[in-house]
Structure 1
Amino acid sequence: MIKSVLSLLSVCLVFLITAIPAYAIREAKPMAIDSRIKVMVYNPDDIFKYVGYYGYQGNIEFSESEVVDNISLGDTIAWQIVPSGKRIFLKPMEPDATTNMTVITNKRVYYFELHAKSAEDIEDPEIAFNIRFLYPDESGGEVVRHFSVSAEPDLSEPEKYNFNYTISGSNNISPLKIFDDRDFTYFQFREKNTEIPAFFIVDPEGNESIVNYRVSGKYIVVERVANRFTLRLGNDVLCVFNESMPFDLSSKKNKKNKK
């Protein structure tokens, strides 16, 4: 059953991609509790689309080990760009500013399309206060996958398993079945799914950590049980919710109030 709660759907908005020779253009997608915190997955062959909003500033955050060395901006009048360590702060100075930008850090090169729009108010969910880059594999840019094969789980005693999962997002990578045995989480995909998505565990703040998986018969096995997973394959994104262990957002708010 597809989860229909609007706040959770906002987490799973799919990348909008326009194919061009050798490159893809990727937009930031909402990922956290507040949709104004967004994420991009780094690929050296992608061009990243940043949409700024006139009258508002935003920032792009690279990895902890990166420092911005150089920025080349097509239109230096229509955009204000300020580098600061692993971040760059961006602010469109004109309502319809469109240009390109190249950012060179001590580790990587990033290519951006910059666009500017107007927002109705500061709570507009399309505004990006912060965009964080995710790096599936720091060693080479490829998603880490583990394909060791083991026996399938025995479902003759279903009471031993938790099937209480819901999903929201792309049907292209939607599993047929999801369950866990309190130690591992099992995903069964359609046979036509020749490519397996990357799996990320999501924490209460919306931060994602990539996890390895293995093959167990017709199942993909993630050797973890989590409140929430994000699955990604190309421009397809799917959120998976373990309804038997939802996030305790009230305790998170209480912790913030105590600070």
Structure 2
Amino acid sequence: MLRYLFFILFSLYIINAKAASTETNLPIPIDNRMRTLIYSPNEVFRLKFKVGYQSHIVFPKDESPVLQSFGDSRGWSIKMVGNSMFIKPMDPGLQTNMIIETNKDRVYYFEILSTFNEDSADDDFAYRINFYYPDLLVDVPVISKNKGTINGNLAMMNSTKRQGIETMGINFRYSFAGVGKDIRPLKVFDDGHTTYMLFADNNARIPMIYSVSKAGKEDLLQYRIQDGYVAIDTTEYQFSLRLGNQLVCIFNDKYISPISIKKQDKVEVVSKSAAK
């Protein structure tokens, strides 16, 4: 009887999952081997490639590399076709740097590594790399660009102060970039442990929410509804929101990594003992 009940519940879950994926034009499984990196001329992008696999670096349609320079090109197969670069390592254990200049006067800096792993499902290496350019956005409100905050965040902070609500420990300092007016949150804040987001029409449309590592790797996050907000039980330097072709990147301007906190704690302990 329990086995039969489990089968029914599992079937309903699959049906709902398919319906959700059709509604958002997104498949339920998200492949981390498809990377979207936020372009910055001051960033070094660290990418891992796999022996026996060819990876694809995609530039915008009107942009193409005019110069490629390598620290050591031995062991790498590189082919340029239009705005695409195809790269394949011939040997494992390779590590070097690569610099690409394009006809758009952009310079890209890479640290590239090769590995060999028999597991084809390994998501630690890149199949395809795209770039996202915040400086090209034209529909982000000027106040958001200048003030570096999401619309409504400062107003919410000031209103809560006027109402006498305690705001100590609450971080309202978030900025964003991206083309996705349907999924851009109205408010974002965190209490140091949980991040809260409020979307239009009482969260009528909630996008997929991802944390983004410094290497550009996205991890899908779970959320819950708490007091009318979408609550994510983590704080991150960067989130990506995706729905269909829309993408919004959210940046925590006051983010302090747990590693940094631990280092600060250790320094304080040493200084106290030294004072004694």
- Give the structure-2-normalised TM-score: 0.48
Question: Which has a greater percent of helix?
Answer: 2
Structure 1: which 5+ residue stretches go unaligned?
1-31, 153-188, 202-207, 248-259
What TM-score, normalized to structure 1? 0.51
Q: How does 1:66-85 map to 2 (within 5 A)?
A: 66-85=63-82
Deviation at 1:226, TM superposition (A): 3.5
The reply to whether residue 127 of structure 1 matches residue 105 of structure 2 is: no
| CA shift for structure 1 position 83 | 1.4
One of 194, 198, 210 as aligned partner of 2:176: 198
Q: CA deviation at 1:54?
A: 1.3
Aligned with 1:47 (options 44, 48, 56): 44
Equivalent positions of 1:36-185 (< 5 A) are 36-107=33-104, 108-138=106-136, 144=145, 147-149=150-152
Contact (CA 8 Å) 1:68, 1:84: kept in 2 or not? no
- Structure 1 residues 222 and 135: CA distance shift in structure 2, 3 A: farther
Deviation at 1:63, TM superposition (A): 2.4
- Listed as ranges, the gaps of 5+ residues in structure 2 are 1-28, 157-166, 191-195, 226-241, 243-276
Deviation per CA, 1:94-145: give whole Å up to 9, x if none. 21111111011122110011111111232222232111112223169x9955
Q: Which moved more, 1:106-115 or 1:231-240?
A: 231-240
Which of the pair has the greater relative contact order for Cα pairs under 8 Å at 6+ separation?
1
Query: Aligned pairs, how many?
Result: 173
Write the distance in 1 (CA, Å) between the matches of 2:43 and 2:58. 17
Matched residue type, 1:57: Q
Cα offset, 1:47, TM superposition: 0.4
- Cα 1:216–1:98 change in 2 (3 A) is closer
Structure 1 or 2, whichever has the larger Rg, is: 2
- Cα deviation, residue 148, structure 1: 4.6
Distance 2:64 2:176 in 1: 27
Q: CA deviation at 1:75?
A: 1.5
Q: Structure 2 CA distance, aligned partners of 1:209 and 1:88? A: 32
- In the other structure, the counterpart of 2:206 is 226
Output the CA distance in 2 between the equivalents of 1:193 and 1:102. Answer: 38
- The amino acid that maps onto 2:64 is V
Distance 2:79 2:170 in 1: 47
Q: Aligned to 1:137, what secondary structure does the other structure show?
A: helix
C-alpha contact 1:98 1:114 (8 A) present in aligned 2:
yes
Identity, % of aligned positions: 27
Contact 2:174 2:188 (8 Å CA) reproduced: no
How far the C-alpha of 1:231 sits from its partner, in A, is: 6.0
Gap change, CA 1:40 and 1:223, over 3 Å in 2: same
For the 8 Å contact 2:36–2:130, the answer to whether it is kept is yes
Aligned match of 1:179: none
More strand by share: 1
8 Å CA contact retained: 1:227, 1:242: no
Query: How much does 1:194 deviate?
Result: 5.8
For 1:175-201, what per-residue CA distance to the aligned partner results, in whole angstroms no more than 9, with x for missing partners? xxxxxxxxxxxxxx9845363153668
Q: Do the aligned residues in 2 keep the contact of 1:151 with 1:217 (CA within 8 Å)?
A: no
Q: Which residue type is aligned with residue 53 of structure 2?
A: Y
Contact (CA 8 Å) 1:57, 1:129: kept in 2 or not?
A: yes
